[in-house]
A and B are shown apart, each in its own frame.
Chain A
Amino acid sequence: MTQPIIEFRNVVKKYDDHVVLNGVDLEIDAGKFYTLLGPSGSGKTTILRLISGFLDASSGDILFDGKRINDVPAEKRQVNTVFQNYALFPSMNVYENVAFGMTLRGVAPAQIKTKVTEMLELVKLKGFEEREIDELSGGQQQRVAIARALANDPKVLLLDEPLSALDYKLRKEMQYELRAIQQRLGITFIFVTHDQEEALAMSDWIFVINDGEVVQNGDPIDIYDEPINHFVADFIGEANIIPGTMVADNLVHFNGQDFKNVDGGMRPNEPVEVVIRPEDVDIVSVEAGAVTVRIDTVSFRGDYFEITASDMDHHEWQIQSTNGVEEGSRVGVTFDPEDIHIMRLNETEEDFDARLEAYDEE
């Protein structure tokens, strides 16, 4: 195992009595695209600022390349940040902004010029050197901010919700580009966002943050398919979350019936929550269905229909289907055993990981 480039060991951040980060441990490996995902106020930006050095940890260690950097000032750290509102210097033009870090270090002008040109090409802003910042659109400012941060050759690039101010289309475009830039340069990106879709689309690895703690971390597919708890299931993607009990291994009871599933390793009759993603729910005839529901609303979303329905126990179901159904009609729904995900109540991430690994070994 190679040494992580950034490591948090039980990092706590509090203001007076207000705890923002409650003992965070995390490891960041070089060369990957990481996302810190969480609702606003969860502490994700705090983690970013602890890495960049704008905040000091109340306790715990922050390591960079294996060395403790808690006391290293921000300007001496080999990380650079793309700020949420870009923070471009309005008194300088595009060239001067991108050159700023190198100018400080006293790099030779010719070398600066080469690097600035290279960076502006990378972000597709060739020929914008002499533009003033206030002459640029939001998307262009965003690109300058990225070029400026990358021009310093950081080992890690921190991105603090950089796409939140852009409109939907531009945002999609920037997601692809950021991903492409990261893969081309091969440096570590740590991206902060509250947008789960963005996180799933871009990342190699996601840390889900809530209430100052890392709730779950894993690759996008794992996190989507095997959410650890109600919060993650709800926050990431749409989910039907139904209370149930684990009757035995591979058998779960909910909605008044037993269903076959692929989870196990729990106490008999342990209360659990069942997660079924809307796209895994199939609409069939009432006779063929496992559960009978009444269709409440149907809305067309372009490539699919979003359907809400309620069952006899008044649980609401969210269903995504490529075919429309009539509102008010009664239909059956089914799902495969693999699509039933079980979440234990209050399971820690270690136990959760151990349990998942146990299945894999079986």
Chain B
Amino acid sequence: MKSKQSIPYMVPYVLWIVLFVILPLLLMLIQSLQDIHQQWTLANYANFFRSGTYLKMTFNSIFYAFLVTVITLSISYPMAYGLSRVKNSQFWLLLVILPTWVNLLLKAYAFIGLLSQTGTVNQFLGFIGIGPQQLLFTDTSFILVASYIELPFMILPIFNSLVEVNPSLPNAARDLGATPWQTLRRVIFPLTLGGVRAGVQAVFIPTLSLFMLTRLIGGNRVITLGTAIEEHFLITQNWGMGSTIGIILVVAMGITMYVTRDRKKRGKR
């Protein structure tokens, strides 16, 4: 089968790429550069960068995504490390993956029940004498639930990079006098940076754009880039501004990928 013969197979796929990958993004870019009367303008961008609200919102969004990334990373690394060391680790890994197959909305919904004014957590707080607190619709609840949802996506790539570490390397480190902690920090961690990067990418970018959590759990207190886009497209119908924020989100995504790229390209083994 020569290259030429691949052409008929490719037709629907190439059509898909043009229609659903290139065209939508192009349209979004065009939309962001037009005003409501379809005149070319940079007003949307000017508006975005001049208005304190948009910048503050962007900063907040990045800050929350950063927090969620840090929290999931600090829970995930020891988790993945432990998982890579137990018997039947593939089975336990399956248990990590399973929650990701449960509908996202259902997980968010569970937290509404858990965190509500009369919810289970508040009942517990009342029981130990702290008394019911406002839990739902706070920044903390948003960060908590977002971290919960993103956790498996951080554990998986780190776990994969951990199991790929040659098992004789930790032995060699200990042989040379490294304590378990030194072995982890100086030998294993540098070798699993690839997994950490992949995890950061997998958590940071989606968290920037989560919008239904901000409404269900954050009670509109937290506005992410995603929320702003949804609002402009579906509520205020200002597609130009929505597209502008969208393009900025795409740029933010690009920057994240660039920052977390594999800097030292080395052939493996």
A residues bordering B, Cβ < 8 Å?
52-54, 73-76, 79-81, 83-85, 87-92, 100-101, 104-105, 132, 134, 148-149, 152
Contact = CB atoms under 8 A, between A and B. Distances in A.
A53 B176 CA distance: 12
Contacts of B173: 89, 100
B174 A75 contact: yes
A148 B168 contact: no
Given A87-B166, A87-B168, A87-B171, A100 B176 contact: yes
A104 B169 contact: no
Given A90-B191, A132-B266, A134-B269, A149 B168 contact: no
B267 A134 contact: yes
A87 B174 contact: no
Contacts of A152: 176-177
Given A80-B176, A101-B176, A134 B266 contact: yes
Contacts of B166: 85, 87
A75 B172 contact: no
B168 A104 contact: no
A104 B266 contact: no
Contact of A89 (B175, B187, B266, B268): B187
B172 A87 contact: yes
A52 B187 CA distance: 19
A92 B176 CA distance: 15
B178 interface: yes
Contact of A104 (B172, B176, B267, B269): B176
Given A75-B178, A75-B179, A85-B166, A90 B266 contact: yes
Given A54-B175, A87-B166, A104-B176, 14 more contacts: A53-B174, A73-B174, A75-B177, A79-B175, A80-B176, A83-B171, A87-B168, A90-B266, A91-B187, A91-B190, A100-B178, A100-B186, A104-B178, A104-B186
Contacts of B187: 89, 91
Contacts of A52: 175
Interface string B119-130: 000000000000
A76 B182 CA distance: 13
Interface in B35-51: none
Nearest to B183: A75
Given A134-B266, A134-B267, A91 B177 contact: no
Interface string B144-186: 0000000000000000000000101101111111110010001
A83 B174 CA distance: 12
Contact of A81 (B172, B178, B269): B172
A141 to B, nearest CB: 11
A79 B175 CA distance: 7
A80 B267 contact: no
A53 to B, nearest CB: 8
Nearest to A158: B175
Contacts of A90: 191, 266, 268-269
Contacts of A101: 176-178
Nearest to A74: B174
A173 to B, nearest CB: 24
Contacts of B190: 89, 91-92
A83 B178 contact: no
B181 to A, nearest CB: 11
A85 B168 contact: yes
Contacts of A91: 187, 190-191
List of 5 A-B pairs having minimum Cβ-Cβ separation, nearest first: A101-B176, A87-B172, A87-B168, A91-B190, A74-B174
Nearest to B171: A54
15 contacts: A73-B174, A75-B174, A75-B175, A76-B177, A81-B171, A83-B171, A83-B172, A84-B168, A89-B169, A90-B266, A92-B190, A101-B177, A104-B182, A149-B176, A152-B176
Contacts of B268: 90, 134
Nearest to A76: B177
Nearest to A77: B175
A45 to B, nearest CB: 12
A105 B177 contact: yes
A105 B178 CA distance: 9
Contacts of A89: 169, 172-173, 187, 190-191
Nearest to A84: B168
Nearest to B267: A134
Contacts of B269: 90, 134
B266 A74 contact: no
A76 B176 CA distance: 9
Nearest to B169: A87
Contacts of B178: 75, 100-101, 104
Nearest to A52: B175
A132 B269 CA distance: 11
Contacts of B266: 90, 132, 134
A106 to B, nearest CB: 11
B193 to A, nearest CB: 8
A80 B182 CA distance: 17
Interface in B239-269: 266-269
Contact of B177 (A84, A88, A104): A104
Contacts of A83: 168, 171-172
A79 B187 CA distance: 20
A148 B168 CA distance: 15
A155 to B, nearest CB: 13
Nearest to A148: B176
A336 to B, nearest CB: 49
A9 to B, nearest CB: 24
Nearest to B187: A89
